[in-house]
Chains A and B, each alone.
Chain A
Amino acid sequence: MKQIESRHWIFGGLFVIVIITMVLNINLEVRVTPETDRFYACLDSLPAGATVIVSFDHEASSLPEIRPLALAVLRHAFSRDLKLVGTALLAEGTAVGYRLMTQTADEYGKTYGEDYVYLGFKPQYIAAILSMGESIPDTYPEDYLGQPYRDYEMLVDVENYDDIAAVISIADGSLTTHWIEYGASRYNIRIVAAVTAAMMTTYDPYLASGQLYAMFGGLRGATEYEQLIGIGGSGKRGMLAQSAAHVYVMVLIIAGNIIYFRTRRRKGSAS
């Protein structure tokens, strides 16, 4: 049988720490950063009835991180009575996005076709973004359920980006970049993004230059947003586990460095 190595202890320790902190279920208050606040203010300032595109630009593998972000944004949007048009530029995000939208809509008693519509997946994301700038009904003649676009009352006046208040890109990769480069640059549409933590530094330059209007991300971002809308979710529940896991990693890094330098000194004195 294979021997238990140090990495098994490290992974095992992390697993135990996360489980214990999750079972404790202590809510950790976090300070809301200006970036998350700006995203919140952007949605909050839109008038009720304004149409917003929610683009699920992610794959299924990032769902644990994407779900709290998406739920927080969708809850805020539905509570503000915004009209949501869902779309997905990656195939795997299609079903995930539809599920999240319908689940949140049910929470707020929203009706499909009146308060929100899910247009579904469109291949070739650059072409899709550019095509929507010319005509959304030509890009999506039918919605995800196969109903003609023109059948929906809420979409009658929605022809292109001129009729859209903002685009919310919920992404785990570089898709938001394309929204910025082809949507914002060319059609002047306001882009806001909810992204995974790993993608935050990628979008920071766009945020600094103002090409990306607002952005928040990661489990921490979700927790901040949940705090702003006053609804607890998995972001808030996971925050203690996140912090404990980070402390665990830092302790391991420090311990690793101490062991390394002690070993080096011992080898040096031996020779």
Chain B
Amino acid sequence: MDWSVIIAGLLTLAIFSFLYRDNPVYKMAESLLIGVSIGYFLVITWSNTLMDLLFVPLVQDAKWPLVLPLALGLMMFGRFHKRTASLSRIPIAILIGSGAGVAIPAMLEARTLRQITATVGPLLSESGQPDWSVIVVLTGVITTLAYFYFSREHKGVLGGVAKGGTYFLMIFFGTTFGYTVMSRMSTLIGRVEFLLSDFVRLAQ
């Protein structure tokens, strides 16, 4: 048998041992997972980001404008000392400014305008019959927005509409919870499948 399969199988069992109680075997497997993940992330970041995008073009190809992001990056470390802490504000300001500049138009378009356009549709279909899917979506949006309107007390009509919104929210949370349970089950099934087919070769 492949050594990697044996190690992966034993580590899977070590993680499963937490179901009974916290124990040193589980802690070892957990620490190993975190250590390997961080190690992998560091190597990838070093080679794909710092080397490929910064040091190699700067040193080998003499792309001098890259000195600017290097300087900004180094300014970030200014936070570690009181006297230089203010230096870090410059790269943070640039980061937030450029981030907002890129994100705001995209968010406005994709999250607001396009979603509103999709929500507000004709209530009647071409045949003159009510389009129930549009009606349900519109009702859901209006009642849910009413629930999140806190400038007035939820009494009278507003209270009734807001209560309707809670039902839509409950349906949403229920669906999300159901899908999440399904996702976690899938993860368990995936590991059990690995144990049975690759590790103990009971099922193929």
**CA A67 – CA B49 in complex, angstroms?**
27
Interfacial chain A residues near B68, Cβ < 8 Å: none
B106 adjacent to A186 (CB under 8 Å): yes
Q: Does B155 sit at the interface, judged by CB under 8 A?
A: no
Once A123-B45, A185-B106 are accepted as A-B contacts, the answer to whether A23 and B196 lie under 8 Å apart by CB is: yes
Contact A218 B110 (CB under 8 A): no
Q: Once the chains bind, are B185 and A246 in contact (CB under 8 Å)?
A: yes
Complex interface: chain B residues within 8 A of A25 (CB): 203
Chain B residue with the shortest CB-CB distance to A2: B21
Nearest Cβ on chain B to A138's Cβ, whole angstroms: 11
The CA of A130 and the CA of B102, in the complex, are separated in Å by: 10
Q: Which residues of A contact B99 (CB under 8 A)?
A: 126
Please encode chain B, from 103 to 132, with 1 for each CB lying within 8 Å of some chain A CB and 0 for all others. 100110111001101110000000000000
A94–B47 alpha-carbon span in the complex (Å): 13
With both chains docked as a complex, state the minimum distance between the C-beta of B7 and any C-beta of chain A, in angstroms: 15
A209, A210, A241: which contacts B189 (Cβ < 8 A)?
Answer: A241
Chain B, residues 39-81, CB within 8 Å of chain A (1/0): the string is 0110011001100110000000000000000000000000000
B154 at the binding interface (Cβ < 8 Å): no
Q: Which residue in A8, A18, A68, A196 is a CB contact (below 8 Å) of B19?
A: A8
A22 to B: closest C-beta gap in Å? 5
Q: Which chain B residues border A121 with CB–CB below 8 Å? A: 44, 48
The DSSP consensus for interface residues of chain B is helix
User: Is B86 an interface residue when CB atoms closer than 8 A count as contact?
Assistant: no
Q: How big is the A interface, by class?
A: 35 or more
A11 within 8 A of B: yes
Report the Cα distance A246→B196, complex, angstroms: 20
| Pairwise interchain contact B41-A92, C-beta atoms closer than 8 A | yes
Residue B84 is within 8 A (CB to CB) of chain A in the complex: no
Nearest chain B CB to A182's CB is how many angstroms away?
6
State whether A22 touches B192 (Cβ < 8 A).
yes
Residues of chain B within 8 A (CB-CB) of A62 are 187
Q: Which residues of A contact B187 (CB under 8 A)?
A: 62, 64-65
Q: Which residues of chain A are near B45, meaning CB under 8 Å? A: 91, 123
Contact A122/B203 with A201-B172, A246-B182 known, Cβ cut-off 8 Å? no
Bits for B165-204, please: 1 = Cβ < 8 Å to A, else 0: 0000000100110011111111111111110100000110
**Chain A residue at smallest Cβ distance from B192:** A18
Contact, CB under 8 Å: B202 / A64? no
Docked complex Cα distance between A11 and B185 (Å): 12
A197 to B178, CA, bound (A): 9
- Residues A91 and B44 in contact, CB atoms below 8 Å apart: yes
B62 to chain A, nearest CB (A): 16
* Contact across chains for A181 and B110 when beta carbons are under 8 A apart: yes
Q: Are A64 and B191 in contact (CB under 8 A)?
A: yes
How far apart are A219's CB and chain B's nearest CB, in angstroms? Answer: 4
Q: Are B190 and A63 in contact (CB under 8 A)?
A: yes
Which residues of B have CB within 8 Å of A220?
Answer: 182
Taken together as a complex, chains A and B put the C-alpha atoms of A62 and B186 apart, in Å, by 9
Complex contact A234–B202 (CB within 8 A)? no
A198 close to B44 (CB less than 8 A): no
Contact of B111 among A65, A95, A181, A210 (CB under 8 A): A181
Asked if B114 and A197 make an inter-chain contact with CB atoms under 8 angstroms apart, the answer reads no
Q: Which of A126, A211, A219 contacts B186 (CB 8 A)?
A: A219
Given A122-B48, A200-B179, A208-B118; 12 other pairs, CB 8 A cutoff = A15-B16, A22-B192, A22-B203, A65-B186, A121-B44, A126-B102, A141-B52, A198-B176, A201-B172, A218-B179, A219-B185, A220-B182
- Give the A-binding residues of B (Cβ under 8 A): 16, 19-21, 37, 40-41, 44-45, 48-49, 52-53, 99, 102-103, 106-107, 109-111, 114-115, 117-119, 137, 172, 175-176, 179-194, 196, 202-203
Sort A-B residue pairs by CB-CB distance and give the 8 closest, nearest first: A64-B190, A209-B118, A198-B183, A197-B183, A219-B186, A197-B182, A181-B110, A238-B189
